[in-house]
Chains A and B, each alone.
Chain A
Amino acid sequence: MAAVTTTTTGIRPVRRRFSVGRAAAWTVMGLIVLITALPFYWILRTALSSNAGLNADPANPLPVGLTTSGFERALGLQSAKEAIAQGGAGGGLDFWRYLLNSVIVSTLITGCQIFFSAMAAYAFARLRWRGRDKVFGLFLAGLMVPTIFTLLPNFVLIKQLHLVDSLLGIALPSLFMTPFAVFFLRQFFMNIPGEIEEAALLDGAGKIKIFFRVVLPMASTPIITLSVLTYITSWNDYFWPLMVSYSDSSRVLTVALAIFRAQTPATGVDWSGLTAATLIAALPMLVLFACFARRIVSSIGFTGIK
């Protein structure tokens, strides 16, 4: 029986006849999927409704008074007068700019952090030098420091560097490394067989060339996984950008979204516009994830330390 159930793809559950237990288990699983997915549908349905329609028929499973005006408001395509007429705040919100800011910050952080962390990880994994393990231990200790603890002093530092309210100020603290990224990549680099490196050395390649031509390409899967996770993390970050940015020039989507929420009239919230804005803010990560989902889902176990 064991032979039947073990396949090359790994451990498979045993196919068994119908039982009450299995039916119950599938029901629970279905419920979990519903709780996970339904809010997304509900947001889409609301974003495509008009505020008047939402008030008239709040429980309708379909969009009420189908319209894209919520999206128009969120993207700042409506005049203030129109927006107010349809339940919006009428304040100026430049979503394209925030979107661009988010893209710049997240790309900058992901690109630099992964590259610098990979360099360090290579030095920790494949180069031989005095005090290597001690320095690595120091980096690892950095994993223990909760982010909140460094935020206030980092803000003071960024302020002294006159980088408050700039995209660079938002990106700088996570630009060079995180202990996690270094640790994560080092694990993979250590598992690359030494023979490959030696063969390249015999061919006359230097260590730098080996890093770029051999080690980096061989670790492309973990690097992509880490990149996507880093991108999502920096895209979703709220606290630090909230501290550092004051004006449109450096505002990222998460902060803009919270402001959109705060600006919306206290009586009669612009739910249509708010949910549309929420969707716009969430969509890029959903698309990004959809592109890499299989790879990420299968390698997430390794990121267990995050």
Chain B
Amino acid sequence: MTIASSSPPSRLPLGGAEGAGTKSRTRRARSRESQGDGRLAAVFIAPAMLGFLVFLLWPTLRGIYLSFTRFNLLTPAQWVGLDNYVRMVHDPIFWDSLKVTVEYVVINIGVQTVAALAIAVLLQRLTQSAMLRGIVLTPYLMSNVVAGLVWLWILDTQLGIGNEIISAVGFDRIPFLNDETWAIPTIALINVWRHVGYTALLLFAGLQAIPNDVYEAARVDGASEWRMFWRITMPLLRPVLAVVLIMTVIGSFQVFDTVAVTTAGGPANATNVLQYYIYGSAFGRFQFGYASAMSVALLVVLSAITVLQYRLTRAGQTDLG
């Protein structure tokens, strides 16, 4: 990411201490120090490196390998070439789950971004209250499972207060999670509820970086809040907004918990999101190879989206300063 470039160039010579005899005392001392650092660094890095290699790098490579195999955990993986990918391309359920996932992401990210932006701007322009920020963040402390259950209850067709209100106002009760058209938007909004506060705080932090003078100057010129939002806030926030968007989209594509606890993929596969389908293939039908191939597909989709978003939003550049 952009932050990598902020690391200073490594300044120290990495030549050994050999041949230091003719050099001055200070230089010898310094080169001895760099030697010592090397050994110490190895010790300090070792646990993290172990974790990185064993639980991040190796599984990534292995996941790619497994996607070319037939593997059910019981017998050794059997190389089948592109079979899993061919199957995936011809699997209507896969395409369907991809479609459902995209639908979820569009609703989830669309609503969440607008709402988070609104909250962030209100927090900045209206009040800086830390307590309000704390309240807004509370749902983020809940697990997806808890958030799912909370809303499962509130939206229950028979007894949920949500439907009680809807029927009191005079509308028909809505089977939010049991209806093919309502289920995905409902799950998307539940996750907006859980995540919007966190996203808002990230944007709020970005807003804090905009100098107040700019607003003052605009106000002196007689600009309205609305105009200032479009002419100052949005352009200056764009780089932060772009990074936040990339992050939330990637997270959004991996929706699983809420689906698992509310609809379990139903009704009639209407909420069978990609990650749920992958989980079912692996642990329901023990098709680890096929599940891995779908994971690779998800990885490719996510990488493509990241690159695209990064390009489109020119996330690396800033308008500030």
Contact = CB atoms under 8 A, between A and B. Distances in A.
A178 to B, nearest CB: 8
A40 B136 CA distance: 13
Given A2-B213, A128-B10, A150-B63, A261 B149 contact: yes
B89 interface: no
B94 interface: no
Contacts of A10: 128, 208
Given A29-B122, A238-B143, A156 B212 contact: no
Interface string B103-125: 00000000000000011001011
A135 to B, nearest CB: 7
Contacts of A145: 56, 60, 299
Contacts of B149: 257, 261, 274-275, 278
Interface stretch (B20-28, B175-183, B240-248): B240-248
A104 to B, nearest CB: 17
Nearest to B143: A236
Interface string B30-52: 00011011101110110111111
Interface string B261-292: 10000000000000100110011000010011
Contacts of B225: 21
Contacts of B133: 297
B73 A159 contact: yes
Interface stretch (A75-83, A216-224, A285-293): A285-293
Contact of A305 (B12, B45, B49, B247): B247
Contacts of B261: 257-258, 261
Contact of B56 (A2, A11, A142): A142
Interface in A132-151: 132-133, 135-140, 142-150
A206 to B, nearest CB: 9
Nearest to A61: B161
A257 B148 CA distance: 11
Given A40-B138, A306-B247, A152 B282 contact: yes
Contacts of B296: 149
A275 B38 CA distance: 54
B153 A275 contact: yes
A232 interface: yes
A147 B206 CA distance: 26
A46 B153 contact: yes
Interface in A242-264: 242-243, 254, 257-258, 261
A54 interface: yes
A301 B52 contact: no
A25 interface: yes
A127 B51 contact: no
A43 B142 CA distance: 13
B44 A35 contact: no
A116 B48 contact: yes
Given A144-B306, A305-B3, A35 B193 contact: yes
A167 interface: no
Question: What are the 6 closest A-B residue pairs judged by CB atoms, nearest first?
Answer: A301-B205, A176-B51, A236-B143, A153-B59, A120-B48, A177-B48
Interface of B: 1, 3-4, 7, 9-12, 14, 33-34, 36-38, 40-42, 44-45, 47-52, 54-60, 62-63, 66, 73, 118-119, 122, 124-128, 130, 132-146, 149-154, 156, 158-161, 164-165, 168, 193, 197-198, 201-202, 204-206, 208, 212-213, 216, 219-220, 225, 240, 243-244, 247, 250, 253-254, 256-257, 260-261, 275, 278-279, 282-283, 288, 291-292, 295-296, 298-299, 302-303, 306
Interface of A: 1-2, 5-6, 9-14, 21-22, 25-26, 28-29, 32-33, 35-37, 39-40, 42-43, 46, 54-55, 58-59, 116-117, 119-120, 122-124, 127-130, 132-133, 135-140, 142-150, 152-157, 159, 172-177, 179, 182-183, 187, 190, 207-208, 211, 232, 235-239, 242-243, 254, 257-258, 261, 269, 271, 274-275, 278, 281-282, 285-286, 289, 293-294, 296-298, 300-306
